[in-house]
């Protein structure tokens, strides 16, 4: 947004988009745009320009291509997609489209192009299809029907709720105080925060690594890990009511979700500590360095920072 020093060369949507729309007045033109700023954002502000291209057909893209980060990520995005679909309907958007996978990576991993062998995040395809027809679709009913189709029998409704609510755990894993923060190493972590944070009022106050903020953020990350653990424990309690195949798939997917919560927490804590040291919010005393080392050792696989 500020790649150029001169304000005239900086992109300003309210100044630059309307003339572009007017320049195409009367032409048979359709606009296709993203619902969010990135390929996948969970619980972020939506594109404020949705529905603003009057006089032209408008199609809004709902992307869940980062669901293909399996096995390192487990993302089910039904509630997020419904929020986007409802906004599009309110603003008179003509239709929705979906990006279901990273097309560039498809050739490297043919698994991407075969939804029939995906784990449980395949449900995103069915949720999108339902929302494309009706933004007010009953996601619980769609998910229950999907599970019955996948496993050949009706499963406890609680499993469908777990699947839909996994989104909240994933969002709190990838975000720091609501702001996406999943980059590495430190410079990219910092860059991604700067890329997305300006969508949030007083964002510097939210994520600046002061001692008070670090304490608050670390508690939020720890609570999210506990939520992921409880979801996994609930699957174990429901084991007797599930076919063996269903139990195995739920167990694997929610184990990945727990790993995701842990690994993101470890990485984010690690980089926030480095940022705090770099900008002087913390002094690298022996006490702080011991706490830093414990965070890395306790929360990271095999005691490494990632």
The whole-number pLDDT of residue 292 equals: 85
The whole-number pLDDT of residue 6 equals: 74
The whole-number pLDDT of residue 242 equals: 97
CA 71 centroid distance within chain: 15
Q: Render pLDDT for 244-278 as a digit per residue (tens, 0 to 9).
A: 999 999 999 999 999 999 989 989 999 999 999 99
The whole-number pLDDT of residue 98 equals: 87
The whole-number pLDDT of residue 60 equals: 95
The owner of tokens 């709720």 is 161
Q: Domain locations in the chain?
A: 30-137, 156-306
The whole-number pLDDT of residue 65 equals: 73
The whole-number pLDDT of residue 112 equals: 63
The whole-number pLDDT of residue 169 equals: 97
CA 216 centroid distance within chain: 21
Q: How far is CA 227 from CA 157, 202, 262, 268, in A?
A: 19, 28, 11, 18
The whole-number pLDDT of residue 280 equals: 94
Q: Residue ranges of the chain with pLDDT lower than 50?
A: 1, 303-306
The whole-number pLDDT of residue 1 equals: 43
pTM equals 0.88
Burial class (CB in 10 A: 0-12, 13-18, 19+), 111: middle
């Amino acid at each position: 947004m500020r790649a150029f020093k001169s304000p005239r060369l900086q992109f300003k949507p309210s100044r630059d988009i309307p003339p572009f729309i007017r320049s195409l007045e009367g032409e048979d033109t359709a606009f296709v745009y993203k619902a969010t700023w990135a390929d996948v954002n969970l619980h972020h502000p939506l594109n404020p320009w949705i529905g603003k291209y009057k006089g032209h057909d408008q199609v809004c893209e709902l992307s869940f291509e980062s669901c293909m980060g399996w096995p390192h990520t487990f993302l089910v995005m039904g509630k997020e997609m419904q929020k986007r679909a409802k906004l599009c309907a309110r603003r008179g958007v003509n239709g929705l489209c979906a990006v279901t996978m990273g097309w560039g990576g498809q050739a490297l991993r043919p698994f991407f192009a075969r939804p029939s062998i995906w784990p449980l995040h395949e449900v995103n395809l069915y949720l999108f299809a339902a929302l494309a027809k009706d933004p007010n679709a009953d996601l619980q009913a769609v998910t229950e029907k999907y599970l019955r189709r996948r496993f050949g029998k009706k499963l406890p409704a609680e499993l469908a709720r777990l699947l839909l609510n996994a989104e909240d755990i994933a969002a709190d894993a990838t975000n720091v105080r609501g702001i996406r923060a999943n980059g590495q190493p430190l410079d990219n972590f910092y860059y991604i925060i700067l890329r997305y944070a300006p969508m949030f009022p007083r964002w510097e106050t939210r994520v600046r690594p002061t001692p008070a903020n670090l304490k608050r953020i670390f508690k939020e990350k720890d609570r999210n890990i506990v939520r992921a653990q409880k979801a996994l424990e609930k699957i174990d309690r429901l084991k007797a009511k599930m076919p063996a195949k269903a139990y195995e798939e739920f167990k694997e997917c929610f184990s990945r979700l727990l790993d995701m919560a842990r690994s993101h927490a470890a990485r984010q804590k690690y980089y926030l500590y480095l940022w705090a040291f770099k900008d002087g919010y913390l002094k690298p005393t022996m006490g702080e360095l011991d706490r830093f080392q414990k965070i890395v050792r306790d929360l990271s696989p095999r005691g490494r920072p990632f």
